Amino acid sequence: MIIFMVYIGQMVATASPKLVLVLIGGLVLSMLTIMNLEWGLYILIFVIPFTMQVHLGKTIEAGTDDLLLLFLIFSWLANRARAKEDIFVSTPLNWPFFLFFVSGIVSLIPLSLKFSQIGFLVGSLHLLKFFEYVFIYFIVVSCVKEFSQVKKFTVAFFINVGIVTSVQIIQNLIGGPLQLGITYLKHNIVRYAVGTFESNAILGAFHCFALSILAGFILTIRSPKIKVILTICSIVISFTLFNTFSRSAYVGIVGGLFILAALKEKRLFLLLLALLIMSPMFMQAPVLERVTLTVQRLKPTVELDPSAEIRIHLWRKTFEIFMRNPIFGVGYWGVRYILGTEAHSQYWAYLTEMGIVGFSIFLWLMARIFKIALWVKKNTHDNFMEGLSVGYIAGLFAVLMTCFFSESLEAFRILGPLWFMTGLVVSVRNITLNQATQAQTPKS
């Protein structure tokens, strides 16, 4: 113990203050998780959007989120071992997750043969990081056993959304250049992104997901006062969504509203809500200009803006790469080594990197998630749970719409909230099934 403490003291004395704070935070998170798993999850909800990435070389980086998540995962496993519970949590998504992971490993074989060891290492680390976030789903499912927990975690999620939204609004009011130094428009108040998201497209996808879930609650909760409060919140979030200037997010929220219209019969109310959510587009000239900027000229020929032209060029390139390795792909994360940049489409990236096999498993995973959420909508008798399921379906669809134009599911600011809320929806399913089983069991 003395040798160990001397070693820790030496590391603390020579490490940067940020790393020391992260290690202390991780230890606190671990102790809280071992004592009470819910505490660790609450901390995780508020930490994920604001963690920092640290470069460990030219191509490899790690984040404070990795350290905190590892602390949480090992503490969760220790907690399950202490309670003498099975390590593997049985859920409907186990097989899709497992096969997706296996297909990712198989795809790394050609990557290791064709590229350097660094390429194989980076691909492996990103695959592991994807499943590091999947553990959030398993932790939530193992923790949530009552509807009251679902409600509290959902409220905490929206408080976190409110914090992110407030940060963005404050930065909008302060003004200044965009975080990435890109001036999108000629005549507008130049705005910031939230720095830790590192991309306006990812921030826009985050707002799409949250806003769609919020709209689901507005359509299902009966209290007029709560409806008014939630509607005001949705308008504020829509303001920040449209001020990301992410056109993929604009497409995503339209898709989410379309799904809500298909799931709920309140057509007139939904139309009014949609107009309120879309109002920033019509009230702010720069937002409308951003939408119309895609097509710069129609006559005599259609002329796209440089961003759209680059995407089309990259999609053609990725299609050519896909045709060379159509079955198992070029390797997870490997398309960046060939293109020198992202594919700017999650679907083209998965299809090129993991081939038809991996992409089919991904579609199976998404289809099963939608099936579970639809089951919850049809079988729950609680307005809150129905709102969660309806909003989640719309939110996931909105994120998948953004994936046509950005690699949203490789952004860990999206994966954290996505798998957390997926865990809540699956937990609602499990609780509903348990209640039905208990109701059918005759009392002795």
260-264 contacts: CB < 8 A, separation 24 or more? 260/212, 260/215, 260/216, 260/219, 260/390, 260/391, 260/394, 263/377, 263/390, 263/393, 263/394, 264/219, 264/220, 264/390
As a whole number of angstroms, the distance between CA 134 and CA 138 comes to 7
As a whole number of angstroms, the distance between CA 194 and CA 170 comes to 10
As a whole number of angstroms, the distance between CA 190 and CA 363 comes to 38
CA atoms in the 13 A half-sphere facing the CB of 412: 27
DSSP 49: G
As a whole number of angstroms, the distance between CA 348 and CA 283 comes to 35
Angle (nearest 5°) at CA 410 between 349 and 429: 110
- The end-to-end CA distance of the chain, in Å, is 55
DSSP per position, 290-324:
HHHTTEEE-SSS-EE-HHHHHHHHHHHHHHHHHHH
Q: Which is nearest to 232 in space by CA: 285, 162, 286?
A: 162
Beta strands 303-304 and 61-63, pairing class? unpaired
Q: What is the pLDDT along the chain (444 residues), one digit of tens a residue?
A: 787 677 667 766 776 776 677 667 666 766 766 677 788 888 888 888 877 666 555 555 666 677 778 878 887 887 788 778 877 788 999 999 999 999 999 988 887 777 666 777 888 888 888 998 999 999 999 999 999 999 999 999 999 999 999 988 887 766 654 443 344 444 444 455 676 677 888 999 999 999 999 999 999 998 999 999 999 999 999 988 988 888 899 999 999 999 998 888 777 777 778 888 887 766 666 777 777 766 554 455 555 666 777 888 889 999 998 998 899 888 898 888 788 788 889 999 999 999 999 999 999 999 999 999 999 999 998 999 999 999 999 999 999 999 999 999 988 889 999 999 999 999 999 999 998 888 777 655
Can you give the pTM of this predicted structure?
A: 0.88
Q: How many CB atoms lie within 10 A of CB 335?
A: 26
